[in-house]
A and B are shown apart, each in its own frame.
Chain A
Amino acid sequence: MKTLIVDDSNTMRMIISSTLKKIGGHTIETACDGKDALSKASAFKPDLILLDWNMPNMNGLDFLKAFRAAGAKTPVIMVTTEAEKTRVIQAVQAGANNYLVKPFTADQLSKRVADTMAKVKKAA
């Protein structure tokens, strides 16, 4: 599965990337903000996007709105410190398929990825 990790923190990208590599089955690309993610998503054509919210240049929510407005159906999991219900609702309304609040365990990340892909497969 081709997975795009979008986070402005290099260490968060390293941590998520390392966790996915341990799970296995992921080919990984990374982006450091929403603008970078739009460009990388176009070239890399990911099967899954893990998306931070608070980033410079273009934040995760604005990326998601632009991505969905362009007709992209790739599942997106928000991975963010933004944990309030209003934020979760905003993200889901913008087209997020799932939500994981930082900090998280490796098991939580693994389960969220599996659940999201299972739901997408079932809906197809």
Chain B
Amino acid sequence: MNAQQIRCFLESTENLFSTMLNTSVEFGKPVMQPRDAKHHDVSGIIGLSGDIVGSVVVGLPTETAIAAVEAFVGCRIEPDDENFADAVGELANMIAGGAKAKMEGDDISISCPSVVIGSDYTVQRPRQASCVCIPCRSPLGEFDLNICINSPAQASKAA
């Protein structure tokens, strides 16, 4: 993982917040994260494959997730409503999709989103992948962007 790849995810997140959530987002310093790190109460998970392999987890405390979904859809949706997970998944999908589009030259596929409600889980990631957690702050609340990727194509080009 390199700084440019992280920047793609940050720019994509900024774009999502300014267009569909009508608010802003600020980023803290990325910190390295163990591959089996625990997550927030609500997580939108997207898998990446192709030239870049790994996953992106948008982890939100419940209150932030409720506020983000309300800003996105235009009405309050509780976590036990099936549309809540659908909306969180779509937010994660747009962050990953936007980042993928910015990584020009890489052939990347993204999975359909999975959403986990509950924090007692880990995402098993590729052994060689680097994992960073980027703390995010917005008027809707705080959340994390967990990026865990490996670039086998870049590694083979460099070798």
Contacts and interface: CB of A to CB of B under 8 A. Distances in A.
A104 B90 contact: no
Given A11-B86, A103-B15, A81 B73 contact: no
Interface stretch (A12-20, A40-48, A65-73, A112-120): A12-20
Contacts of A108: 19
Q: Which 10 A-B pairs have the closest CB atoms?
A: A81-B97, A83-B101, A11-B87, A103-B20, A103-B19, A9-B90, A103-B16, A11-B86, A103-B94, A105-B19
A101 B20 CA distance: 12
B89 interface: yes
Nearest to B96: A81
Interface of A: 8-12, 14-15, 18, 54, 56, 80-84, 101-105, 108
B97 A11 contact: no
Nearest to A9: B90
Contact of A56 (B90, B104, B112): B112
Residue of A18, A80, A84, A103 with most partner-chain B CB within 10 A: A103
A93 to B, nearest CB: 19
Contacts of A105: 19-20
Contacts of A83: 97-98, 100-101
8 contacts: A11-B72, A11-B83, A11-B86, A14-B73, A15-B72, A54-B110, A81-B100, A104-B19
